[in-house]
Structure 1
């Protein structure tokens, strides 16, 4: 895909610096134009249909620009998976237009009761990133039979007018992701707007058969790399701006900071190389027969968790050397640090 223009990068960063809790309309318009929410939407539905390694580079670059921007591009793109599991006509309706983007949740927090032609659904789902501009919402529900007993879990697609957004995203990082709770109350969903994510996809693109867990882990690990890279770059700029004054008043701190920056920059490059090598090799193996052995999935999982761990340790090593300025919430370094901690808190990246 084309390089993101400097004007867009500057707009995104300026908006984040101003503390705004959402993307500007100009940024959203660029995302739609560049199809950044449609990296995994089939070309038949006006998508880009990138390979996994190609998309991860986009996620990292977007997260390097700004953590919230990178997270929204990553999550928005992930919703493209449903274009292959929804009924074809529904997929065309929801994904072929230029502003198509999904918000939702995989947790089965809703209850669906069968009625003529479909289901009546009620429930609430937390952490639905991009909720305020989603063109369609998806969520998992437990099917309830006539006896009130709950059966299998199924996925449902809701129209925006059926969904209430509870604006409760109050995390200390990724503030502009608008990862609010969504709710529906007795929303009718016709059978054709329900789907099973484990069913055979309607398109033969490899990504639709790639296992979901390593897909999520690699996507979020790429975001970690981008945010950490931004943090180290801004830390170096911070050190360079203070070189003259600190050489006089804090010479040991300056020397220590520059030395640690060199170490952590080298460490991040090393783990980044390992990560992409692992992903590319696993992807090349996968597309030969659309299978990824458990041992290979474990290998990908471990390097993703190592990326998250190394990114945090890089930030933890540098942050204490930045002085009091970095403690201020309106400082850029502080915001990037908080964004990094928010991403690495995701359960698929946590080592236990």
Structure 2
């Protein structure tokens, strides 16, 4: 079986510490210092950073299993780790001098946005960046930010080689960024996914890069793998990790609930059947995704990559559906915002709004 329970891939003591501080992290609105200490110690923000810059350069098959495990421990920790270590993958495309400076920090964390909601005006000395970007998960802990910008010269759009307006991602020091406290959503509270603003920051040309295998600055399979499927797979396992956490909690709740006098044998059978069906469905979908990821890593052809996209989206959709099917049987405990199961429910429904996880195709 290529999809064991997520607990296989994470230390039990680390899970306990993460969960023991999850409620406090929600109160803080960002990861708890104890959770962050673990992230730094295990270099989770550096999972995809090139080994040449002190990163772990983890293979995608190993990455998705670990990311699912961390999200099983806690949704906010898993999401911040996924988004910020995903930005660390950009190190494979940055100029080596710039990358060495950024990733030399043992507490490096890159937060950012893929939306093109800012401009970069080309000058003789570099680029002037201006704009506002939303949903930068881990913003409170970021040492650098990444942002996509429309390239302008003399106020006019620069046209790229493909005949379209040129867009480039940039890496921006924290000192040039103003955080906007906009993250006020029902779930993923501790991700601190705030907006950020940049106003005429001057950056050297080396702070821009191109996310394209042809422009990789580091050799290795990780930086030849397509960004879309990497993003789809890593986001999907965040949802499956949370869904498995939810089913684990349901098992304990159901065991107690079926002993209540008002629960008939038929009711108990219905609850347990729904739980078993959800667990089995998740297991099957996880195995399909992990098999697709493994195959695409060995041979990243068109068919293999399409399979990653298809199975990623299917797993995300099923994860939401399983949680919704089981929620009704959990009683008012699941509706109380200070309970663990409610936090998992809120987290998966907030994370599930990501555009890459909405549709089957």
Taking structure 1 as the reference length, the TM-score comes to 0.93
Partner of 2:95: 87
Match of 1:211 among 218, 226, 238: 226
- Residues 1:3 and 1:275: Cα distance change in structure 2 (over 3 Å): closer
Matched, 1:259 2:267: no
CA RMSD of aligned residues (A): 1.6
Counterpart Cα distance in 2 of 1:171 and 1:277:
34
Deviations 1:110-166 (A, max 9, x none): 1112233111111000000000111111111112111x2122112222111110000
- The answer to whether the 8 A contact 2:123-2:153 is kept is no
Q: Does 1:273 align with 2:287?
A: yes
Give per-residue Cα distances to partners, 1:223-246, cap 9 Å, x unaligned.
1111110000001011123343x2
Alignment correspondent of 1:159: 173
The aligned residue for residue 61 of structure 1 is 69
Q: Deviations over 1:218-268 (max 9, x none)?
A: 001111111110000001011123343x2x122243332122111111111
Alpha-carbon shift at residue 4 of structure 1 (Å): 4.0
1:240 alignment partner, one of 255, 264, 269: 255
Q: Which residue of 1 aligns with 2:263?
A: 250
Out of 96, 101, 116, the residue aligned to residue 108 of structure 1 is 116
TM-superposed CA distance for 1:323, in Å, is 1.8
Aligned length in residues: 342
In the TM superposition, what is the alpha-carbon distance from 1:95 to its structure 2 partner? Answer: 1.2
Tell me the residue number matched to 1:224.
239
Aligned residue in 2 for 1:169: 183
1:128 maps onto 2:136 in alignment = yes
Structure 2: stretches of 5+ with no match in the other structure: 1-7, 159-165
What is the correspondence of 1:1-352 to structure 2 with a 5 Å cutoff? 4-18=10-24, 19-20=26-27, 21-146=29-154, 148-151=155-158, 152-198=166-212, 199-244=214-259, 246=260, 248-251=261-264, 252-286=266-300, 292-293=301-302, 295-351=303-359
For the residue of structure 2 that corresponds to 1:113, the secondary structure is strand
1:106–1:140: 8 Å Cα contact kept in structure 2?
A: yes
The separation in 2 between residues aligned to 1:145 and 1:216, in whole angstroms, is 31
When normalised by structure 2's length, the TM-score is 0.91
Post-superposition Cα deviations, 1:95-114, rounded to whole Å, max 9, x if no partner, equal: 13211111111111111122
Q: Which residue of 1 aligns with 2:5?
A: none
Contact 1:74 1:219 in 2 (8 A): yes
Deviations 1:308-337 (A, max 9, x none): 111111112111111222122222222111
| In 2: Cα distance, 1:266 partner to 1:42 partner | 37
CA distance in 2, matches of 1:225, 1:275: 11
8 Å Cα contact 2:9-2:66 kept in structure 1: no
